[in-house]
Structure 1
């Protein structure tokens, strides 16, 4: 009796937590109703025909498979920090040079405009014009 109850509870919880794409033969709602209202038959039916267990096995990875797989923790290749990456540092220098050039152009343009304003203010006969 306890085994039947354990089987029923397990089947019900497994049915509820199984994603829709892993179900076979019936929609999830129907499987939940079958397992809920027919404990013995529904639980056995769920075990036999309810869940596509081959798909779940394919998702499980026995050993990690990625760029760090097979390395002990202390030997794993680590990504470089930005201040250790030569390409990143070179891009910063290029960016700084571009900003420096832009700043020099702005300063030259500002000097030119100030000089034009001084020349305009030094012209005779501009006394009646209001200065802004």
Structure 2
């Protein structure tokens, strides 16, 4: 029974690495194309599996974040290929434009809200005069 243990462990490692290589995203596999890693793992079960785990397996978001100096715990900053701001002046200009657009939208909303309230107020005042008392002629 104990003599079978290394073989079973090697098979489990090989199967795990093979499946992991097959389901990994092509763009995130490191150093070699995905098909090459699959062939290496198939032909060299022990060495290929270890090589896949060490060199070919896609980096996790947490490891990428540490390597790139990203902020931990914020997935939008850990996304591969995220670019940092390169021109603070352009960033300030962009933020100024965003604030101005938000303020303009806020002013338009408030004006529209006031206009609707005035129209409803007028309609209510006009509707009150239209009612005729019961028993009055014309009812």
Larger Rg: 1
TM-score (norm 1): 0.42
TM-score (norm 2): 0.41
